[in-house]
Amino acid sequence: MNGPRRIWWARPRKLCVMERPGGGGRSHRPERRDADLDYLKARGVRLVISTMTTRHNLSEYDRAGRAWHHVPVSSCAEGADALEELLGLLKREQRLRGAIALHGNRHTDFVAAVAAVNLHSSAARRSSSAWRVPPRRG
C-alpha cells in the first residue's frame, strides 16, 4: 500500500500532517483519496482534522468510519484563533488511543506550524516534569 504523497508523521503513531487525502486543489483524485484513507485507517488514524475553508472530504471521512473535526483557516496570517483551538484539541485527543491526521488543502504551511507548536509544547511539558528536584531525605 502506497502512502499519501505529502505526509509527515510529526509524532509517530500519534499525529501526522498532510495535504488533503486524495490530493489538493485540481489534482484531487477520488481513487487516490480512497487509497489515502485506507492508509490512514491501517495506521490507526481515528480522527481527521481539516483546516480547509471548504467542507470537501468530510462526508468521505464518515463513509470511511473516521471521526472528523473541521476548523476552516484561510491562511497562516489569519489562523491565530484557529491555532489556539487546534492546540487544545490536539492536547486532548492525543491522550486517547489512536492517531490523528491534520490536513489543509494543498499548501500545508499552517498545518506544519500547528504540528511544530504541538511538538514544542509537548516537549516543554515533558522536560519540565523531568527536571523536578527530588525532595531531600534525612
Evaluate whether residue 137 is within a structural domain: no
Is residue 101 packed enough to be buried (19+ CB in 10 Å), middle (13-18) or exposed (0-12)?
Answer: buried
Evaluate whether residue 2 is within a structural domain: no
Q: Give tens-digit pLDDT for 20-40.
A: 998 877 778 988 999 999 999
CATH code of 108's domain: 3.90.190.10
Give me the domain span that covers residue 32: 7-129
Q: How many domains does the chain have?
A: 1
Evaluate whether residue 104 is within a structural domain: yes
Angstrom distance (rounded) from CA 101 to CA 50: 8
Given this model, what pLDDT does residue 37 score?
96
Evaluate whether residue 138 is within a structural domain: no
Task: Kindly report the pTM of this predicted structure.
Answer: 0.85
Q: Give tens-digit pLDDT for 50-86.
A: 999 999 999 999 999 999 999 999 888 888 889 999 9
Evaluate whether residue 65 is within a structural domain: yes
